[in-house]
Amino acid sequence: MNQSVLRNRRNSLSFLAGAAMVLSCGATWANEWPTKPLKVFVPYAAGGPVDTVTRMLMETVSKSLGQPVLVENKPGANTTVSTTALARATPDGYTFGVVPAAYTTNRVLVKNLPYKPTDFATVSHMVNIPLFLYTSAATPVSNVAEFVAWAHKKQPSYASTGPGSTGHLLGEMFSLSANLKGVHVGYNGSAKAMPDLMAGLVDYFFDPASGGMPQVKAGKLKVLAVSLPKRCECAPDVPTMAEAGFPDIVQSSWIGLMAPAGTPKEAVDRISKEIANAVRGQELSARLQSMGFGPVGSTPAQFQSLIESEISVYGAISRKANISLDN
């Protein structure tokens, strides 16, 4: 046997031995992980719907992992503060971050973000958040058609949880579809917007069930529709925007989980599976749905696909409405 053939065989054996060692180390790492508490960044203040859902989910996940999952609230700059911290975190499999739909609207509306898409690894699309169209109880309407006719007699205004939020773009979408020329009023969260909506200082607001439905029950707001393809289980009497004559307004908010780029795939896949198991569990699923959230629990690839789809949708809206946050 000549020297060239011997060298090739030795190289092949060395490669196979190295590959086997890597696989063995990966399997050992996956079997031992996690060996300490995990932390999850949340881009909003404690007590809000995103924070509440995250804590519910992570309580279940921590029991399955056998380690605490600590929630760190990092509000600010329409979620950019938290997302930037996640991009700069050590990718050791112990740090994750919640990203809401505002992650995609920021990608569309802000040119110079302090992070890049390649700074992250997607983990899971955890839940959907249906958005309901609310108006003050004093508004003299009982459905979307009557609201549009009433709003045409004035220059209406609409609230959102801040410039670039899902509610901002959805409010603009409705304004354009109904030819309302609505004026956007951004607030620092739903809790800040609700008092002005109830007082009639702004005319409409797309917000989750958790924010508006208690006020509807209290007789302080009216709910006109929901922006889902079908009626929400938490409010079966509320028609969809499509049923109300606006078939293009089918958009919900959502909450997902990401990790810093370079996080071991074993950790990403394990957390993704644990989240899926948690949100599909009978008890937690029922709790989420009663609060107006839709359990999902996707794979990392499915979550990445959602992000790309959302960027396409919101990009079209922003171009049509000429919305930018770079002013």
Residues 219, 185 share a domain: yes
pLDDT interval class at 22 (50, 70, 90): very low
Q: Is the dihedral of CA 310, 325, 178, 204 positive or negative?
A: positive
| Domain interval for residue 183 | 132-226
Task: Express each pLDDT in 105-136 by its tens digit.
Answer: 999 999 899 999 999 999 999 999 999 999 99
Assigned domain for 50 exists? yes
> Edge-to-edge, what's the strand order for the sheet holding 120-129?
69-73, 38-42, 95-100, 253-260, 120-129, 294-295
3-state secondary structure of 124: strand
Examine residue 234 and state whether it is found in any structural domain, yes or no: no
Q: What is the pLDDT of residue 252?
A: 85
Asked if residue 120 and residue 144 are part of one domain, the reply reads no
125 and 137 both lie in a single domain: no
- The CATH number of residue 268's host domain is 3.40.190.150
pLDDT in tens, 178-234: 999 899 998 877 888 999 999 999 999 999 998 899 999 999 999 999 999 899 888
HSE-CB at 1 with a 13 A cutoff on CA atoms is: 7
Same domain, 125 and 136: no
Assigned domain for 176 exists: yes
Is the domain of 256 the same as that of 120? yes
Please state the domain count of the chain: 2
The reported pLDDT for the residue numbered 46 is 85
If you search the block for the tokens 């309407």, which residue do you land on? Answer: 141
pLDDT given for residue 188 in this prediction: 77
Answer yes or no: do 113 and 153 share one domain. no
For 150-189, the pLDDT digits (tens) are 999 999 999 998 888 888 989 999 999 999 989 999 887 7
Share of the chain above pLDDT 70, in %: 91
Note whether 157 and 291 are same-domain residues: no
Same domain, yes or no: 124 and 137 = no
* 267 within a domain of the structure (yes/no): yes
Q: Does 216 share its domain with 263?
A: no
Task: Answer whether 73's CB lies under 8 Å from 287's CB.
Answer: no
